[in-house]
């Protein structure tokens, strides 16, 4: 089985892949868009892509692709603890570092630590990719923010560990595919909706969940592409899509929405890996 992910070997995304599919062949991709296309084309069986970080928030690119895909849906999720380290070539000293490379979200998650070093930060496509760049350039003035495992694969030294601003740092990944991944019984459902442009529509679209005792664990608005200053809403609920109460609630929700799309029904993560 091939499973696509965004990043390079050693990335946290690869950790997520192997946590869900231990015997899979991870298929690295430069972007989330390419990961989606690898599954759509049949080159990969499933994909594992980031949807939300506990510090940086939602990964909008993933949600955009889920909204626009007519084939792929969320079939599972996994939460990965993300501990960032400062990695540099052997012999480098932390006081000599002048430039630090990493994914922009990782740089943001370690902002306080990096500010204390007074270094230039340079955003690249991936944390593991940043480690590779630093290893190839082998400059004692350059370092990467990435996982310890990524650095070990490339022979980099660890100058500092757990450098994120908030020690408890987690990223939630969605397992995406066009078929069931046999990961367990669904107990969570994600969808996206747009409400009618009239007073009370948002309240009326949410009220049915409360009336059916359905817990919303996510409600987030995003600008609607192609419709300036209009918004769509992403929601997660703690019910399976075929739950009778959820089905009943959604029948009422549809009366107040101009668009309602199921993004997937799947087993929720039971804890971080």
> Which sequence positions are flagged as catalytic?
171, 173
3-state DSSP assignment of residue 254 = helix
Contact between residue 198 and residue 252 where contact means Cβ atoms under 8 Å apart: no
Contact between residue 30 and residue 150 where contact means Cβ atoms under 8 Å apart: no
Contact between residue 39 and residue 69 where contact means Cβ atoms under 8 Å apart: no
- State both tokens at 7: 């990043």
> In terms of C-beta distances under 8 Å and separation of at least 24 residues, what long-range contacts does 200-204 make, across chains too?
201/256, 201/257, 202/233, 204/255, 204/256
> In terms of C-beta distances under 8 Å and separation of at least 24 residues, what long-range contacts does 124-127 make, across chains too?
125/7, 125/30, 125/31, 126/6, 126/7, 126/8, 126/11, 127/7, 127/11, 127/12, 127/84, 127/102, 127/103
- State both tokens at 225: 């592409």
CA distance 250 to 241: 10
The CA–CA distances, whole Å, from 203 to 18, 67, 192 equal 41, 22, 15
């Amino acid at each position: 089985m091939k499973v696509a992910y965004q990043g390079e070997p050693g990335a946290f995304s690869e950790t997520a892949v192997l946590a869900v599919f231990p015997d899979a062949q991870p298929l690295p991709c430069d972007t989330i868009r390419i990961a989606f296309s690898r599954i759509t084309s049949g080159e990969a069986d499933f994909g594992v892509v980031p949807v939300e970080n506990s510090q940086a928030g939602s990964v909008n690119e993933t949600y955009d692709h889920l909204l626009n895909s007519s084939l792929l849906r969320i079939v599972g999720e996994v939460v990965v603890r993300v501990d960032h380290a400062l990695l540099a070539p052997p012999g480098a000293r932390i006081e000599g570092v002048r430039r630090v490379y990493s994914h922009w979200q990782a740089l943001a998650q370690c902002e306080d630590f990096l500010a204390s070093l007074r270094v230039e930060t340079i955003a690249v496509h991936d944390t593991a990719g940043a480690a590779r760049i630093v290893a190839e350039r082998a400059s004692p003035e350059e370092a990467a923010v990435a996982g310890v495992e990524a650095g070990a694969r490339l022979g980099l030294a660890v100058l500092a560990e757990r450098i994120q601003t908030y020690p408890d740092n987690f990223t939630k990944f969605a397992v995406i595919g066009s078929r069931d991944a046999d990961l367990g019984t669904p107990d969570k459902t994600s969808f996206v909706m747009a409400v009618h442009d009239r007073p009370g529509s948002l309240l009326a679209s949410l009220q049915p969940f409360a009336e059916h005792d359905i817990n919303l664990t996510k409600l987030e608005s995003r600008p609607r592409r192609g419709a300036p200053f209009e918004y769509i809403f992403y929601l997660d609920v703690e019910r399976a899509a075929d739950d009778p109460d959820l089905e009943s609630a959604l029948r009422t929700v549809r009366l107040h929405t101009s668009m309602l799309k199921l993004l997937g029904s799947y087993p929720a993560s039971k804890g971080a890996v």
